[in-house]
Every structure is written in structure tokens, then in C-alpha cells.
Structure 1
């Protein structure tokens, strides 16, 4: 139901652990918003660098828990008692928002049934193989999967790096869920099963910093894959009854995980007798690359035009997408076995410890704007 009530107020919360280097860009993007937030809160979750000092230099509220809380959800929950606005925007400390992000996403909440909304996430960098592969994945996913899911009123996830939450249902739920390793998917599924809406707003754009190397890429995809199957175990039976369209998207994802080995084996079965090992390998490679490119080609062209990304840049990054997909496939199978087989059999506890997908930033001098704020004695309130 759409209503024309008073303007909604919004608080931004930024959980941060050793984010001295990346935090300034995030805060600067928040301070440039065409529709400003009523308050910006940085939760310095046990940092050993100058995260607090840098944040305070930008004139924002800084909260310091007495010890490292151990996960993003816990850090965000630490800030909730300090939030008095109608809406809460949770932003990762390495994510940069477009200047009109809040302006574009706020209208979604004129509909009182909307409990959570998120925008279009794109990659900030494409310097390494992992970043380039992820850039292609985002361009495809946020211009193909998400719009279709949104049209069916059943987004699979509202991205945790830039989602806006309606405060009242969030507090009634008990805050950001800590029972799974991915709080964004857990809450997105929970509110939809409960009859509320989650929405995707393509005009609200955010740029996320992705893992730069295999060490941190595998940590991120292991956490994402484990969290997905944790949520399948937790929500899937009720989802089938309460939110069948969402269950369909989840079922397709499950089928994709199972079907990938079959898809990879098809070209090995087709050539038959008389092909050398080298010829069979070439046929397999042609099959794999051509079918993959055909499946994602149209959405990539559409996404590139919409985001004004040069097509040659997309083509340059495309081969790296196959590398990231291979890593993701391996960890999806691992997570499937661990979370859906070993955990129910009590042979494993599953993934319980939150790991960042990026290294702690190195200690560098704070930007001039931050230093000026600290030296002038004008930091915002700290707790």
C-alpha cells in the first residue's frame, strides 16, 4: 500500500574493522548525498589501526564496542539502539555510493509493505583477475537476474553492502540475524516469508571493493556459499508454502549447482571414438566458452549500455569470469555437502566464523580532510 506521509528519516551505519585506508572514500560518498542522511554512525569493531580517528575526522558518530564482536551483523546490531530514524542504511566500509543513492532508494519505502530495499552493485576496481571476473558477474547479475526477480516480487537477496531497512520490522525481528553467516540473505528471505516486501532499485548504484587475490576471493565465496546453504536449510520448507516464487529462484540455484558437472561433461561424450585427447580438449573448451558466452552475452551488452561501460572493457574482463566461476563452483559444492549433509548429521558445525573478503588495510596517513577534522578538534560524538 502506497502512502503519502511525512518524509522518512534515515540513519547510515558503517561497520568497520581495520578500514583506515578504504573508509574515507565511503564516508565522502555518504557526505555527498543529494538527500543527506540524518546521521552517519561508524562502528569501529576492534580495529587496531586508525579507523576511529579517520571516521571522527569526517564529523560522524563513532561507536567502539568493548571488544571485537566478530561479525558484521553483530557490529550492526551494536549500533541499532543508537538509531532513531525510520530507515537504516547499512553500508560496508569499502563501498562507495552514487551521490543520488539515498534519493533514488528512499521512494521505495512509500509503500508500507516494503521492509528492505537495495540498489545495483557494481565493482569499484578491475585490476586483478578476481576483480575483473567479479565485475562481469555483477554486470550480468544486476541487469538480468535481479530485475527479473524484482518483477516477480521475490528478490533472492538485498545486498548487505548497501541495503536500506525499515526500522520497525527490523527491530521486531530482533535486529540483523546472527544465526547464519550471511545476514543479508537471511533477512531478505525472512521478511518475504513473513509477507513483507523486498525490492531492488536499479537506479540506486553502489560500487563495492572485491577480493583482489585467490586467498581472499575463496574466503568470500566460501562464506557466501555456506550462508546460502545455511539459509536453504533454515528457510526452504516454509518458503515453498509461504513464498513459492522465491522458492523457485532458490530451486534454480540448487539445480545450477548440481547441473554444472553435467554441463561440463557433455562435450566429452559427444565427439565419440576417433578423437585424440587434444582434439577432445579443444572441443570441450569451445563448448564451454561458447555456451557460457551465449548465455550471458545479451545481459552483458544491456548492462554495459545502461551503465555506460565500454564494451571492449567487458570483453577484456570476460575470460576472468570463467576463472571466478570455477572457484565459486568448487566452494558451492563444498558448502552443499557441509551444510546440507554433514551439519544435519552432526558431523560438522558448518561455517560459524565470519571472515572478511579483503585484507585489513595497511596503516597509511589519513586523507587531508580527515586529518584536518582531527587536528581542529572537531570530531563528531564518540561513544
Structure 2
């Protein structure tokens, strides 16, 4: 497929929405403002009890209303898939805002016929609460450090489900958005790479997601993400070791990070006891190591995104609140999904709960 051909690729946007009347207008406005507009926009009003359907209809998009709540994001997306006849499908969350050139920047990725899924750079829309501030630091670091390295190695860990673009024929042949795990984006990303296709991270295609404002919703989202990650490890890792070893390497590193994180967090206490050093000194060593590992990447990200450095550094301490939540649910997911499920002691996480 030549670069000139990608300009003619047609796009359908699918937006699954359950009780999203407040956030949906900003999402739809961002889609209407695209420099290359999509051919069709479909909102799946998944048994909302608010005015989600009416709000969507006021923007002139196609609104589909399943007869009952479908129970997950993937199922809502699959409800819309038969109504798509374009070359590409762009899945957008109902609380995500796209940059005006998002479609324009991501289309060229599909000039390579091996590319079946691509997604851009996701950042936080709001940084008002401690949890949002912590997430903003996580995203700045992850999307300007981990993702570029994974892209250079041709092994992205995930094409973010809030703004991923798919080849429609491949997605349909695969059976639609995967419903077998609780995180369809990671499942599809790994599955395509296992089958010899490519997943691509497009750094300059920007999207902004609304993240959990409270601890209650953060816990729900992180539990879903961590359980979904472990479900995919259980489902895919054995084959990835032989078919896509570089992707398997990132996954194993992530697992080791989860396993070793408690030791790293306990390092100041261990050094205090082992070396008989004052706790203030060992804490300073530990904090210095943390800053050395994180600040350079954050400063680079701030420059790339033209963000105030002071604001980025102000948000940094809040990331440790999020890290504590992440670690708790990562260990819970490891035990439940990788130990209890294989032993038939648990079904694992099967109920999809929104993270905000």
C-alpha cells in the first residue's frame, strides 16, 4: 500500500457510552474538528439511564441502543462493528478528546500492510485531584519513555483502547473486539503480534483521557487493568516466548517489577537496619535514586509537550499514591489470575466496571 493510498482510507469512529452525557460532548466536538473527518461516527448508548443517547443524537451521529446493557466495553464496540463498512475503525472512549489532527497523523501508519492496529500518545485531560495528578505523571513517563522504546523494538505492550485504530477486515476476521479478557486493547495488541502482524505507537497523534477523580474509581480501574494484564499473561505468554520474544521480554520485566517492587519500597528500612545508618540518610539515598530514574524522562516529556516544568515537578509526589494502589492490585491480580484461576479456586475478574 503506497503512502498516497492511505489518504483515501475511510474511517468509522465507534464510541461506547454508558451514562456519559457530561463527557460525551467534548469527545464528539473533537471528532467533528478533525482535519480529516471520519466517514461515520457511531455512539453505542449502552443502556444509559441519563441523556447520553439524546446528547449523541444532537450531534448528528448514528446512535445505536442495545435492548439491554451489554456488560462490557468490548461487547458495546462489537454491537457497532456490523454497521461499519470503512477501511479503518477508530475506537474512542466517551471521555477522551482527540487532537484535531489525530486521524491525519495516525493514518500513515497503515501504509505498511503489516500494521493492523495503531494508537497515539495519551495524556490526562485534568489534573485537579491527587489521583489525577499522579496519573498525569504516570502517563508523561510511560508515553515518553516506555512506549518509544517498545516502538523502536517493534513490540508495543498495548495500543491504548481509548483511541486505537484498527483495520476493519482484520478486526472482523478476528471475531471483533476480544471479549475473553477484561482488557480488549491489550488482548488484540498481543494477538496481532503473535500472528505476525504489527501494532504501532504514533507518538505525535495526541489524545487526552479523563482519569479517575477519586480513590473509589481509581481502584476499580486499576483492578480491571491489572487483572486484564494477568489474564493476557496467562493466555498469551507461553506462545509469545517463542513467537515474539521481545514482547515477552517487556512482559517478564513488568512481572519482575511487580514482584520486586515491595523490596524497593522497603529499601530505606533495610539499609537502616543493615548499615546502622540514620533513617533520614537512607531515605535520602532512596529518594535520590527515584528522582534519578524519573526526573530526566519527565523533563524531556515536559519539553516535548510544552508543559510548565514547575507543574510537572509539583505533580511528581502524587504518583506515589497511585503507585501504592497499582502495587496492591497488581499483586492481587497476580494471585487471583495466575494462581487461583488455574487452580479453579476463582473465576477471576469477569465483571466490567467503569473506572470513573
CA distance in 1, matches of 2:105, 2:274: 59
Alignment map for 1:188-199 (pairs within 5 Å): 188-199=189-200
Match of 2:64 in 1: 63
> Does the alignment pair 1:326 with 2:324?
yes
Match of 2:313 in 1: 315
CA offset at residue 290 of structure 1?
A: 2.3
> Does the alignment pair 1:354 with 2:352?
yes
How many residue pairs were aligned? 355
CA offset at residue 110 of structure 1?
A: 1.0
With normalisation by structure 1, the TM-score equals 0.90
Larger Rg: 1
- Flag as ranges the 4+ runs of structure 1 deviating above 6 A: none
1:15–1:45 CA contact under 8 A, matched in 2? yes
Structure-2 change in CA distance of 1:254 and 1:2 (3 Å): farther
Structure-2 change in CA distance of 1:284 and 1:33 (3 Å): same
CA distance in 2, matches of 1:252, 1:19: 36
Match of 2:110 in 1: 109
CA distance in 1, matches of 2:100, 2:74: 26
Match of 1:375 in 2: none
Match of 1:372 in 2: none
- 1:15-45 superposed Cα distances (whole Å, 9 cap, x missing partner): 0000000000000000000000000000000
Unmatched segments (≥5 aa) in structure 2: none
Structure-2 change in CA distance of 1:284 and 1:332 (3 Å): farther
With normalisation by structure 2, the TM-score equals 0.97
Helix, strand or coil at the partner of 2:85: coil
- 1:356-378 superposed Cα distances (whole Å, 9 cap, x missing partner): 000xxxxxxxxxxxxxxxxxxxx
CA offset at residue 274 of structure 1?
A: 8.8
Unmatched segments (≥5 aa) in structure 1: 359-383
- 1:140-186 superposed Cα distances (whole Å, 9 cap, x missing partner): 00000000000000000000000000111111100000000000000
CA distance in 1, matches of 2:275, 2:222: 40
CA distance in 2, matches of 1:274, 1:109: 56
CA offset at residue 64 of structure 1?
A: 0.3
1:121–1:208 CA contact under 8 A, matched in 2? yes
1:3–1:112 CA contact under 8 A, matched in 2? no
Structure-2 change in CA distance of 1:356 and 1:285 (3 Å): farther
Match of 2:16 in 1: 15
CA distance in 2, matches of 1:339, 1:272: 35
Match of 2:293 in 1: 295
1:2–1:112 CA contact under 8 A, matched in 2? no
CA distance in 2, matches of 1:354, 1:316: 33
CA distance in 2, matches of 1:293, 1:323: 16
Helix, strand or coil at the partner of 1:5: helix
CA offset at residue 288 of structure 1?
A: 3.8
